[in-house]
Amino acid sequence: MLQSQDHITVKKSLFMNDLMSDTCLLSAIDFADRTFPFSYGLLPDSLSASIAKVGLLQPPLLKAGENGYKIVCGRRRLEVLRNQVLRQGCGRTSGLEVCLASAKISAQELFRRALWDNLAIREFNPVEVADIYTAALSLFSRAEVEQEIMPALKLPLRSRFQQRCQALAGFSRELRDLVAAGIVDGETVDLLREWPEAAQTILLEILADFGLRRNKLREVVSRMDDLARRDRCSPLVFLQAVRKGVAAEGESGGVEGLRQYLKTLLYPHLSAAQLEFARRQAKFAWPAGLCLEPPPDFEGGRFRLSFTFTDAQEWARACDRLTATAREDIEELCRRG
């Protein structure tokens, strides 16, 4: 049921009366506590520059906890400030202006305040959404989560998205960082949530070697997953094979070489067709400088012929070589089977 504007104003006024201005040291803040998990990922350069110039203009909201003050709102600002102090090599000795929440304010009310305060200025990245959803499950009833928290996060009610959030909560820090940065997308997360941790670790090493991102990464992970399902084994088998190949041959094939390798594993006929086509070209001494490409994945019937030239003489030589190629050689090259 919608509340009247007067009721909302009164409620906000009562909330503000339960807040108190105070000062505290950075060392008194429990940065490890994630009761209010409203920040994860890289800190914006613009925020760092602003705090370096003018400091904190808006006091962070804290709540007393067993191991220090818990951060309710303002984690990113506090983390930037802490990083700047650490870079300077000295501890902050002066007190930091903060806003302390009274013990009378419930954790649920503080959670709502932090949620909407953050949403007013930015969108959450996928890891933040997952962390907020997971934390909300321990604070609110299922009905409250579905009717209030999930709509605010634009999180669909379908189980697939809830399972994605739960998977992200259990991923390694390195993998969560890639998701938060947008390098790993949601569909890839859906595949990786069923992978063993050892397989995820090797995937991170392959990412570092090849620099895969989003679409190409999703394609590689999807093919490995398809291979594992086809052969009824762990993706670890194919990941280890790829890692050995990288160690033996380096990165000469690059991303395209990796994609092609997985494609030929998934479709064995493709590898055989490629070898046969190369054999036929060598047999008929296909003219140098002319490039004849088979249909993609040898599906369909359209071959592609191309060559490069820099002047009229090179053009004429290429045409002469093409004209001299016997028709039966072309027919043999294009033959299927």
Q: What residue segments make up the domains of the chain, in order of their start? A: 1-119, 193-266, 276-333
In this prediction, residue 257 carries a pLDDT of: 79
The domain 1-119 is classified under which CATH number: 3.40.50.300, 3.90.1530.30, 3.90.226.10, 3.60.15.10?
A: 3.90.1530.30
In this prediction, residue 325 carries a pLDDT of: 72
Take residue 272 and report the two structure tokens written for it.
């055989």
pTM value is 0.74
Q: Which amino acid makes up residue 288?
A: A
In this prediction, residue 9 carries a pLDDT of: 45
In this prediction, residue 292 carries a pLDDT of: 77
The whole-angstrom separation of Cα 123 and Cα 129 is 9
In this prediction, residue 14 carries a pLDDT of: 43
Q: Which residues contact 74 (CB under 8 A, 6 or more apart)?
A: 56, 58, 59, 60, 61
Q: What is the largest CA-CA distance in the chain?
A: 92
The answer to whether the beta carbons of residues 77 and 56 sit under 8 Å apart is yes
In this prediction, residue 185 carries a pLDDT of: 93
Under-70 pLDDT residues of the chain: 1-17, 89-94, 245-253, 284-288, 297-301, 326, 333-337
The whole-angstrom separation of Cα 130 and Cα 155 is 9
The answer to whether the beta carbons of residues 191 and 162 sit under 8 Å apart is no
Angle at CA of residue 104, ends 100 and 109, nearest 5°: 80
The whole-angstrom separation of Cα 7 and Cα 292 is 75
The whole-angstrom separation of Cα 82 and Cα 24 is 13
The whole-angstrom separation of Cα 73 and Cα 61 is 5
In this prediction, residue 306 carries a pLDDT of: 82
Count CB-CB contacts under 10 A for residue 220. 23
